[in-house]
Amino acid sequence: MLTTRFTKLVGCTVPIQQAGMGAASPPELAAGVSEAGGFGMLGTARGGLNPSTLAALLDRTRELTSRPFGVNFIIRPGSVAAQSPREFVEQAAKVGRVVEFFYADPSDEFVRIVHDQGALVSWQVGSHEEAVKAADVGCDMIVAQGMEAGGHVRGTIGLLNLLCEVLDAVPGIPVLAGGGIGTGRAMAAALATGADGVRVGTRFVASAEAGVHPTYTDALIAASAEDSVYTRTFHVGWPEAPHRVLRCAIEAAQALQDDPVGTVINIDGTQAGVPRFAATVADRTATGYVGAMALYAGQSVGAVKRVMPARDIVRELVEEAEQLLRRSH
């Protein structure tokens, strides 16, 4: 019943894309979501990414699922994929069904590299102008990110209005709705508005397969929607980029005198200090004052009640959305 242009394009069975979220979305999560019929995304925005660590992430995901999955890159000054797109993006496009970009103007250079390998291109956007640009440079699908979203936030308007504008602006390609979607109700609303699917981040941060520290998960479970704060607090390493985190993380970081506040182990095995107010995700390897690290969370955090396997989150969202959509027909 929930077959859409998106599910047909990428080859999944339910219209849920798990957000690429750096170290929070390791191979286990991407594969878990794809195995459940959704579309899993491998996160690459993490310390120590190089061609061989990326190859290991891709191989591991492929080992865990034979279903299609995607690979997400943040494109910003200093990110490895921005510095050497051929090396990183081409490699991802050889394995991923979709390669997706976020946080730069849509560029035909990236689109060409992905298409040359036979994969599809997605761009997460925060405005309808950016959506039009993404369609113009040849993207195969778009994610409209409302400002309710957890993590870094590209635009300044709420999901419903952005979604309406983007759907009207780019009628020819599938559009996913992201930001603040944590329940089947919200999923049904996005689909009823005309979205081809939903992108879900924060709910999957509280999945059994996510790569985050238990302190982070506990804080998500304890939080409600009002605790998701739009801020520029965690700016070290990624200046001037608005994001949404839990209020308790801001308060804890402001109260601390220690700097760095802790450490993480990068994917290449090196240890890195986490400066106070760093953009670094509080992953499983974090030590120190984990509660004072960037605990990213969207307004969807109110829907996080406990840790669940990714497949159960997918099932819960789909069942609830289907029931509501049936009722409205």
Ligand X SMILES: Cc1cc2nc3c(=O)[nH]c(=O)nc-3n(C[C@H](O)[C@H](O)[C@H](O)COP(=O)(O)O)c2cc1C
- Binding footprint of ligand X on the chain (CB under 6 A): 19-22, 24, 43, 45, 72, 74, 102, 124, 145, 148-151, 178-181, 199-202, 205, 281, 296, 298, 300
Query: DSSP assignment, residue 69?
Result: E
Report in angstroms how near the CB of residue 204 gets to ligand X at its nearest: 8
Residues whose CB falls within 8 Å of the CB of residue 41, separated by 6 or more in sequence, listed in order: 17, 18, 19, 20, 21, 25, 30, 33, 69, 70, 71, 72, 98, 100
Residue 173 CA: distances (Å) to CA of 128, 137, 265, 284, 314:
13, 12, 39, 37, 24
Polymer length of the chain? 329
Cβ contacts of 221 within 8 Å, gap of 6 or more: 206, 304, 305, 306, 307
Burial of 83 (0-12, 13-18, 19+ CB in 10 A): exposed
81 touches 75 (CB < 8 A) = yes
For ligand X, the closer of residues 181 and 318 by Cβ is: 181
Q: How far is the CB of 260 from ligand X (least distance, A)?
A: 20
Min. distance of Cβ 329 from ligand X in angstroms?
26
CB of 24 to ligand X, least distance (A): 4
Of the pair 19, 190, the CB lying nearest ligand X is at 19
122: tokens are 């997605």
d(CA 100, CA 88): 12
What distance in Å separates the CA atoms of residue 154 and residue 125, rounded to the nearest whole number?
A: 7
Question: Please, which residue, 15 or 22, has the CB nearer to ligand X?
Answer: 22
Residue 169: CB minimum distance to ligand X, A = 19
Q: Which is nearer to ligand X, 66 or 83 (CB)?
A: 83
80 versus 205: smaller Cβ distance to ligand X: 205
Q: CB of residue 115 vs ligand X: minimum separation in angstroms?
A: 20
d(C-alpha 237, C-alpha 220), whole Å: 24
H helices of 179-308, where?
184-193, 202-205, 214-222, 247-255
Q: Are strands 141-145 and 151-152 parallel, antiparallel or unpaired?
A: unpaired
Q: How far is the CB of 95 from ligand X (least distance, A)?
A: 18
What gap in Å lies between CA 216 and CA 140, rounded to an integer?
Answer: 34
CA distance 185 to 166: 21
Least Å distance, CB 144 to ligand X, is 10
Comparing CB distances to ligand X, the nearer of 305 and 326 is 305
Write down the least CB distance from residue 245 to ligand X, Å. Answer: 9
Residue nearest to ligand X (CB): 201
Residue matched to tokens 């891709």: 58
Q: Looking at beta carbons only, is 7 or 202 nearer to ligand X?
A: 202
Q: Which is nearer to ligand X, 167 or 181 (CB)?
A: 181
> Between residues 66 and 308, which has the closer beta carbon with respect to ligand X?
308
